[in-house]
A and B are shown apart, each in its own frame.
Chain A
Amino acid sequence: MAKPRPVTGIDPSRRVRPNARRILATRIDEVYQYDGLVANPANITDLHNLRIAFKRLRYLLEIFDAAFDADLEPFLEQVKAMQDLLGDIHDCDVQVPMLEAHLAWLERQEATSVERMLTSPRRTASAEDQDVALERFRSRLDAARRTDERPGIHTLIAMRRAQRIALYGRFTSEWRRIKHERFRQHLEHALGIK
């Protein structure tokens, strides 16, 4: 997670508004530093950092809301919407590797249990006993297939990947829209940032 840039020139004995302007100007700038970097869907870390930058900006707008005359609610809603969208993308980015690791663990469990069944020290004496043993082996395999956890995890991974593609598409169109609508300029104007 990217650390917030330090803000200089804060004077606690002054009023909230001039100090808040300094802090907010820096945090708005931090959001826009990811413009360009997030044009690539594979830039997971930049997308995550942009989410954090939006989150910091959102909380600051909530905290300093009372110090400004302008109605900051529409800006807050927009920032929150972007944060939520990027949060959903981040969830997919975190979950897919976790599910893949879980799948690998299930594969290892499966290999170990098959190995154990095949190398069991119990040996049958007669041909009739061998038939019984083979039938038991088949029935255990069928039962194992019915309770196999792997297909569900494969499905979940596929769902998350598809969701990620759709969410990223929504994000890029929203990001383009807020830039086109000059969100930054309007917000800075409302806050009196020059």
Chain B
Amino acid sequence: MARAWDVKGLAPNARFRDAAGRIILTRWREMMSYREGTLAGDDIEELHAMRVSSRRLRAAMDAFADVFPARGFRTYLREVKRITDTLGDARDLDVAIDHLTVLLPDLEPVDRPGLEGLIDRYEERRRAEDAHIHALFLRLEQELFAPRFEAWVGKHTGIDVDELQPSPPGGR
């Protein structure tokens, strides 16, 4: 599993509001760093890392919910949840396909058609999930979700993402 990015400037005695901005913006940029790899689809670990980051982001938003006005918060949280769920559907299929493929050589010949059929069906569904992922990120881009989200977090926490400059451990 990809290591979480370190949160810059997070002091042990930080204010709750300040910590909220630093952690949420770091998790957001961490998640989005896997976007290109996920869309390319060459390595299933990119999607896995993006999903893990999206869950960290969602957890951070839940933890710091009191920092934000309820109405806007719900809208942004719903969108982050949609990202997690969309990636989750694809990830579950990747795991299932991988698991069945590993199991296959150890099975009796009579059992193999069942697993092969199941793998075929999962692979077909997995291809459909790719289309959902592409559509979701295209929409987020068209709606300028990233700059809006970063500005909204900045407005309510006082943390500017350009000043914070979240980055991966050891560079990526």
Q: Which segment of A10-18, A130-138, A173-181, A184-192 sits at the interface?
A: A10-18
CA of A156 to CA of B122, assembled, Å: 15
Report yes or no: A14 in contact with B114, Cβ–Cβ below 8 A: no
Question: Hey, which chain A residues are within 8 Å of B67, CB to CB?
Answer: 12
Q: Which segment of B31-39, B54-62, B142-150 sits at the interface?
A: B54-62
> Is B75 located at the chain interface by the 8 A CB criterion?
no
Q: Which residue on chain B has the smallest CB distance to residue A27? A: B63
Given A12-B17, A59-B55; A152-B4 close (CB under 8 Å): no
Q: Which residue on chain B has the smallest CB distance to residue A4? A: B62
Query: Which residues of B1-32 are within 8 A (CB) of A?
Result: 4, 7, 10, 12-17, 19-20, 23
Given A148-B113, A151-B114; A13-B15 close (CB under 8 Å): yes
Query: Which residues of B67-126 are within 8 A (CB) of A?
Result: 67, 107-108, 110-118
Question: Hey, which chain A residues are within 8 Å of B108, CB to CB?
Answer: 155
Min CB–CB distance A187 → chain B (angstroms): 17
Min CB–CB distance B9 → chain A (angstroms): 11
> Is B141 located at the chain interface by the 8 A CB criterion?
no
Report yes or no: A16 in contact with B16, Cβ–Cβ below 8 A: yes
Interface core residue of B23, B64, B114 (most chain A CB under 10 Å): B114
Report yes or no: A60 in contact with B59, Cβ–Cβ below 8 A: yes
Q: Which segment of A35-43, A61-69, A111-119, A121-129 sits at the interface?
A: A61-69
> Is A120 located at the chain interface by the 8 A CB criterion?
no
**Can you show 14 pairs from A to B with CB atoms below 8 A apart?**
A15-B16, A16-B14, A17-B12, A56-B62, A59-B55, A66-B7, A102-B118, A148-B110, A149-B118, A152-B116, A152-B118, A153-B114, A155-B111, A156-B115
List 17 extra interface pairs beyond A12-B64, A19-B66, CB under 8 A: A4-B62, A11-B16, A12-B15, A14-B15, A16-B16, A17-B12, A17-B13, A56-B62, A59-B63, A62-B56, A67-B19, A149-B118, A152-B112, A152-B113, A152-B118, A155-B108, A155-B111
List chain A positions with a Cβ less than 8 A from chain B.
4, 10-17, 19, 23, 56, 59-60, 62-64, 66-69, 102, 146-156
